[in-house]
Every structure is written in structure tokens, then in C-alpha cells.
Amino acid sequence: MDSFRFAHPEYFYIFLVLPALVFLFLFNRILWLLAITCLITALAQPQFGSKLTLTKRKGVELIIALDVSNSMKAQDIKPNRLERAKRAIAKLTDRLKNDKIGLVVFAGQAYVQLPITADYSSAKLFLESITTDVVPVQGTAIGAAIEMAMKSFSPNFEGSKAIIIITDGENHEDDAVGMAKKAKDKGIVVHTIGMGLPQGAPIPLTEGSSNFLKDKSGSIVVTKLDEPMLTQIAEAGGGSYIRANNAEVGLNNLFNEIEKMQKTEMESREYSEYNDQFPVFLTLAFFLILADFLILDRKNKWLKNFRLFGTNKILS
């Protein structure tokens, strides 16, 4: 019977090299797989954490005082006076570039809804939360709103300042004209925007309701725009009066006047909810690719020097 054998079984020891070659092959692929994963993640622009940046800009400071009394629920300005005013303020915020804005809400009392800021995203966020319930005391204290707005400007800011009062003008609480005059004496311009129509409208008890507010005698209360009052306030404050209607509120017209005001350099801190993290993944991808090339270069040198069967000689 013929027998079988290997003439040089010692060469089987070379199989011990195979795990190392497999490891190099797989390690090379894993590096590229991780590098591609990092690149794709960087393109997706991951964001987490928060970021606070300090910027310098030239602009004015603007405080908007918004009436949130129940009369602002009247629907002579669609969908209602308050909602239409909020939409107009949001559009005005989109047009601001280098200015600071603050929000004051008022009814029978006045409160700061948003301190003066250049963070327009926060301004729009605070604006969305405004309802007629944010001020517990009913009424229309325009003078208190002007006084609160005057206190809301940056303490050390000496540039141009403006207050925009958005209301239906039915002031029953204080001397709004006198307070506007005080603001003007301090170099603060006071503008007014009248929300509502002269013929007036009833006040729904709830949004979209056909039940309206009634007085003690049982008659439906009709809230009317008080243009003479708002005109006097604007004149005393050195500003302009504009009546809103269903086509426009008038903030865009006032924005053009604000743009003409002297711009002053100011510092502002802007907060963003998310901070970009894609540079981290981009850097990781770069180092992974670099590592692969370095390993590949060494691997090629090793394979170039490796001779499994020695040097072949050509027989003559």
C-alpha cells in the first residue's frame, strides 16, 4: 500500500502567522468602518449640551408692552386682538438683527415677561406663552406699563431706546400721558399701536365662544378702540400712533422708524439650547484614517521583507 507523508512538515508552523494576517486585515477594515461612521455622524451635525456666547453689536434697545386684559380677546381684529398682536411681534423679532428686545405684559398691573435680550429665539418662546391669564388683576394700566418698561432697559446702556405700547387704549387706571412724558424726558421714545376698531366688539368669555362678557345690568360689554388716548400718549412720548386693522398691525412701519435711530455698540450674551459637536467626530475620523495609512505603510514594509520561500534564482 502506498503511504503518504509531508516531506517538510516544519513548514506547517507558518500557519501560526495566519492569525496575525487575519488580525491585520480585520483591523484595517475596522478602522475604515469607524472612520466612515464618524464622517456620517459629523455630516448629521450632532448637537447636545448648551452654549453661551458673548457678542458685540450695534443697535437699539426696544421694549414692547403688550396689553393682556380681557378686552384683548375681542375679535374685531382677526383672530382676536391679542393673538394678532403676538403674531406681529413674532414677525418683528424676525426682522431684528443687532437690537435688543424685551417684553412687558400688563392689564391692571404690569410685569416683565422677558428681560431685555438679544436672544430672539427666547423672545419668541416667551411670546408664545402669553395669554390673558398671565396678569391676575384686570384693567388697563398703560402708565404702569410705561413705567415698568422704563425700568427694563439695560442699566448702563446710553444708546437709543424705544417703547411700543400695544393696546386697545381703554386706560382706566393711571396717568399714561404723564408717564409717557417722563419717558421722553429720559430720552426714551414711546410709540403706540391701537388694537381694535372704533366701532368695537364684544368680549368672548372663552376663545371661540358665542357667550360674551356682560355688565351688571346683563348687557353685553362692547370694547372700543380709544384712539384719542393712544394719540395723546404717543405725542407725549415723542413717538407715533398707528392703528391696527385686519390687514396689518403696523409694527413693520414702526420698525422702519426704529431702524433710523442711532445705533450704539452693545454687548449681549446669547444662549442656545444645543451646542454643535460635529468637530469631535470629524477629528476622530481624520485620526482613524491617518492611523490606517500608518499601519498600512508598516504592513507593506513588513510584507515586502517577508520571504516565505526565499529568493528565487534563475538558472542559466
Q: What is the mean pLDDT of residues 193-222?
A: 86
- If 0-12 CB within 10 Å is exposed, 13-18 middle and 19+ buried, where does residue 187 land? exposed
In angstroms, rounded to a whole number, what is the distance separating the alpha carbons of residues 3 and 177? Answer: 120
Which pLDDT belongs to residue 313? Answer: 44
222-223 and 201-202 strand pairing = antiparallel
Which pLDDT belongs to residue 316? Answer: 37
Side chain identity at residue 173, one-letter code: E
Which pLDDT belongs to residue 171? Answer: 65
Q: Would you tell me which CATH number, out of the four given (3.40.50.410, 3.20.20.140, 1.20.1250.20, 3.30.1330.40), belongs to the domain 54-271? A: 3.40.50.410
In angstroms, rounded to a whole number, what is the distance separating the alpha carbons of residues 95 and 98? Answer: 10
Q: What is the mean pLDDT of residues 24-48?
A: 75
Q: Where does the pLDDT of residue 158 fall: very low under 50, low under 70, confident under 90, or very high at 90 and above?
A: confident
- Give the start-to-end residue ranges of the domains of the chain: 9-46+276-305, 54-271
Nearest to residue 235, comparing CAs of 303, 161, 178? 178
Contact 162, 62 (CB under 8 A): yes
The C-alpha cell that represents 6 in the structure block: 509531508
Kindly report, residue by residue over 283-306, the tens digit of the pLDDT.
887 777 777 777 665 555 555 554
Query: Which residues partner with 54 through β-bridges?
Result: 269
Across the chain, mean pLDDT equals: 81
Lowest mean pLDDT across 34-38, 92-96, 116-120, 161-165: 34-38
47-48 and 222-223 strand pairing = unpaired
Query: Which residues partner with 110 through β-bridges?
Result: 106
The SS3 assignment for 140 reads coil
In angstroms, rounded to a whole number, what is the distance separating the alpha carbons of residues 249 and 49? Answer: 38
Which pLDDT belongs to residue 13? Answer: 77
The SS3 assignment for 27 reads helix
Which pLDDT belongs to residue 308? Answer: 45
Nearest to residue 205, comparing CAs of 71, 82, 83, 67? 71
Q: What is the mean pLDDT of residues 53-65?
A: 78
Which carries the bigger pLDDT value, residue 148 or residue 96?
A: 148
Kindly report, residue by residue over 81-122, the tens digit of the pLDDT.
999 999 999 998 998 888 899 999 999 999 999 999 989 998
Which pLDDT belongs to residue 74? Answer: 92
Kindly report, residue by residue over 245-272, the tens digit of the pLDDT.
877 777 877 888 877 776 655 555 555 5
DSSP code of 171? -
Q: Look at residue 51 and tell me whether its pLDDT is greater than 80.
A: no
pTM of the model: 0.65
Which carries the bigger pLDDT value, residue 26 or residue 279?
A: 279
Place of cell 437699539: 60
Q: Where does the pLDDT of residue 169 fall: very low under 50, low under 70, confident under 90, or very high at 90 and above?
A: confident
Lowest mean pLDDT across 56-60, 233-237, 257-261: 56-60
- If 0-12 CB within 10 Å is exposed, 13-18 middle and 19+ buried, where does residue 228 land? exposed
Read off φ and ψ for residue 315, nearest 5 degrees. -80, 135
Q: What is the mean pLDDT of residues 20-39?
A: 73
The Cα angle at residue 205 between residues 204 and 208, in degrees rounded to 5: 55
